[in-house]
Amino acid sequence: MLAPAAVWMAVFVAAPLGVVAAYSFLTRGPYGGLSEPWTLENYVRLADPLYLRIVARSFRIAAVTTALCLLLGFPLALFLARSGGRKHLLLALVILPFWTSYLVRTYAWMFLLRDTGLVNTLLVEAGLLERPLPLLYNEGAVILGLVYGHLPFMVLPIFAVLERLDRSLVEAAADLGARPLETLVRVVLPLARPGIVAGALLVFIPCLGAYLTPDLLGGGKTVMVGNLIQSQFTAARDWPFGAAVSLALMALVMLGLTVFLRRGGERFL
């Protein structure tokens, strides 16, 4: 039963990753392509502060996105958990935009934020601005796009935990004289922790490897690890270096995955 899928995975997941691993030890040919000698140079090159800065930037953007998703998503999950009968409909409304094209949703933000986009046009027409604000092609726009795209990943796990929360615990706290906010912070939040952790990892890990959002909304200026990898395999034509960066990214992502699984995260998958 498992055999066909196992074979497929071996051929199309394991083998390609193996090829990439091998390439990461080769050298780039003069105009691109591959050549001997086998070397560790690509990994050494990764330690250059220039590239470490890209990794740091990716971490920073992923972290900020995760924090924002948490801030924005937790109250929403709370609302959903308490909304009684219409829970599933409201949940569906959260997920619906998520399952339509990611490319389209990213383009929607381009449409809104560019110099001649809706936001700027409205502000200029209303006389609030003299010339358009550069809302697009910067890190802020990338973070906005990432938050927009990954919010459901944060909301769903937290909702799943809050839904199963024992209401009597909340009532007991109220009976003991706690105000609503206090109950929230001292009772609900700690109980929701598994959901929060799951949500955080479900947002952080994909954001680390983001490519499309920084490419379109960052104007190619906000270079994240994903962009670096893609450019090495296309215009820069340096496959060995790109392979090394890919493996480094995979290592980081696997680390995140192990943390996730150790904390019992597979319940959420």
Q: Binding to another protein (CB under 8 A): which residues in 91-120?
A: 92-97, 99-105, 107-112, 114-118
Q: Which residues contact 102 (CB under 8 A, 6 or more apart)?
A: 149, 212
Contact pick of 61, 62, 69, 80 for another protein (by CB under 8 A): 80
For another protein, the binding residues in 170-209 under the rule CB under 8 A are 180-181, 205-206, 208-209
**Between vectors from CA 91 to CA 85 and to CA 94, what angle results, nearest 5°?**
150
Buried b (16+ CB within 10 A) or exposed e, 173-192: beeeebeeeebbeebbeeeb
Find tokens 């995260």 and name the residue: 265
CA dist 5 and 11 (Å) reads 10
Q: Which helix or strand (DSSP H or E) is residue 27 part of?
A: strand 27-28
* CA 183 vs CA 14, 146, 219: distances in Å: 48, 31, 45
The distance of closest approach from Cβ of residue 172 to another protein in the complex, given in angstroms and rounded to an integer, is 18
Nearer to another protein, 63 or 212 (CB): 212
CA dist 255 and 56 (Å) reads 16
The distance of closest approach from Cβ of residue 193 to another protein in the complex, given in angstroms and rounded to an integer, is 20
Beta bridge partners of 35: 27
Nearer to another protein, 64 or 72 (CB): 72
Say whether residue 47 binds another protein (CB under 8 A). no
- From 61-69, 159-167, 169-177, 248-256, span contacting another protein (CB under 8 A): 248-256
- From 59-67, 77-85, 158-166, 186-194, span contacting another protein (CB under 8 A): 77-85
Contact pick of 46, 54, 154, 188 for another protein (by CB under 8 A): 54
Q: Residue 221 phi/psi, 5° resolution?
A: -95, -25
For another protein, the binding residues in 213-242 under the rule CB under 8 A are 216, 219-221, 223, 226, 228-239, 241-242
Contact status, residue 247 vs residue 228, Cβ threshold 8 Å: no
The distance of closest approach from Cβ of residue 158 to another protein in the complex, given in angstroms and rounded to an integer, is 13
The distance of closest approach from Cβ of residue 33 to another protein in the complex, given in angstroms and rounded to an integer, is 6
The distance of closest approach from Cβ of residue 138 to another protein in the complex, given in angstroms and rounded to an integer, is 10
Number of shown-chain residues binding another protein (CB under 8 A)? 102
For residues 57 to 76, the per-residue mask of contacts with another protein, x marking binding by CB under 8 A and - elsewhere, is ---------------x--xx
For another protein, the binding residues in 121-150 under the rule CB under 8 A are 121, 125, 134, 137, 148
Which of 230, 234, 233 lies closest to 214, judged by CA? 230
Q: How many CA atoms lie within 13 A of 23 on its CB side?
A: 24
CB-CB neighbours of 47 under 10 Å: 9
Contact pick of 2, 47, 126, 128 for another protein (by CB under 8 A): 2
Say whether residue 243 binds another protein (CB under 8 A). yes
Say whether residue 9 binds another protein (CB under 8 A). yes
